[in-house]
Amino acid sequence: MPRRKDLRELPYHLMLLPCVIIVILMNYVPMFGIVMAFQKYVPTKGILGSKFVGLDNFKYIINMPDTLQVLFNTVFISSMKIVLGIIVPVTVALLLNEVRITFLKRSIQTIIYLPHFLSWIVLSGILIDILSPSTGIVNTMLKALGFEPVFFLGNEKVFPYVLALSDTWKEFGFGTIVYLAALTGVDPTLYEAAIVDGASRWKQTLHVTLPSIMYVIILTTVLSLGNVLNAGFDQVFNLYSPAVYKTGDIIDTMVYRLGIVDARFSIATAVGLFKSIVSFIFIAGSYKLAYKYGDYRIF
């Protein structure tokens, strides 16, 4: 006979059942398609009828002239996003923590949160208008100051930094939530002791506030390492062009072009599988570091 406790928990398990079914159908069943990475896939023959070629697709990827450049672009862009995604939210959270007028503080928080809820389809249109070399407000200001206009979205040297800065602008407001929550847990008596010792607001921030939230900063930094190969497909796909492929092309956009545009399904699957394996290693390592240095664990 089932225990009474199990019967009480049964409704909760039934509530999770639709979610479990969706995850299985959308995440696990499609994994059968990984077989294509080891085949010379022919759509008319299907997965079961296509020829098995072993690791030939992976050898082809390694010998592709753009592979190393695309891998470098992905790591470079995602690294900039990770670094800025830590520094900017922490700085803004510290500044907001010093605002004593509640209405002003809440208003600023609401304004900087808004871009997070907009899709890159909307934001890309805004950025294209703002950064236009002829009519964009940024280049209009540069011209007024005597500088030459810059083609931000068409200059391969500038484009990666545009991606990193625009992504930070979109997400930093939402990222401050974690650090503002951490700041509420700082012991007020530490500030009182610092004031008695004659510490200024800057000294209090440096010697009390930052050390008190350093645990959260380290934890979020370590956990973000798992996204080192996720440079943001939505953003790059909506902003890049052939003119900036050299520095703006990332693994995800490369997979899109190989699989959807060129219909080279086996090669695209092999690239995606390679990315998944490397990302899994980084994620496992980041959680290991999070447990070691931040005592963070999932289970």
Express each pLDDT in 258-290 by its tens digit: 888 888 888 888 888 888 888 888 888 877 777
Instruction: Indicate the pTM of the whole model.
Output: 0.83
Span 140-152, average pLDDT: 87
Mean pLDDT over the full length of the chain: 86
pLDDT at 159: 92
**Residue 228: which residues within 8 A CB-CB, separation 6 or more?**
75, 78, 79, 82, 279, 282
User: pLDDT for 102-123, tens place per residue?
Assistant: 888 889 888 988 888 889 999 9
> Does the structural domain 56-294 have CATH classification 3.40.50.460?
no
Over pLDDT 70: what percentage of the chain?
96
Mean pLDDT of 17-45: 88
- Would you list the domain boundaries of the chain? 1-54, 56-294
Reported confidence tier of residue 67, pLDDT bands at 50, 70, 90: confident
Looking at residue 296, its pLDDT comes to: 64
Confidence grade of residue 87 (pLDDT, cut at 50, 70, 90):
very high
Portion of the chain with pLDDT greater than 90, in percent: 15
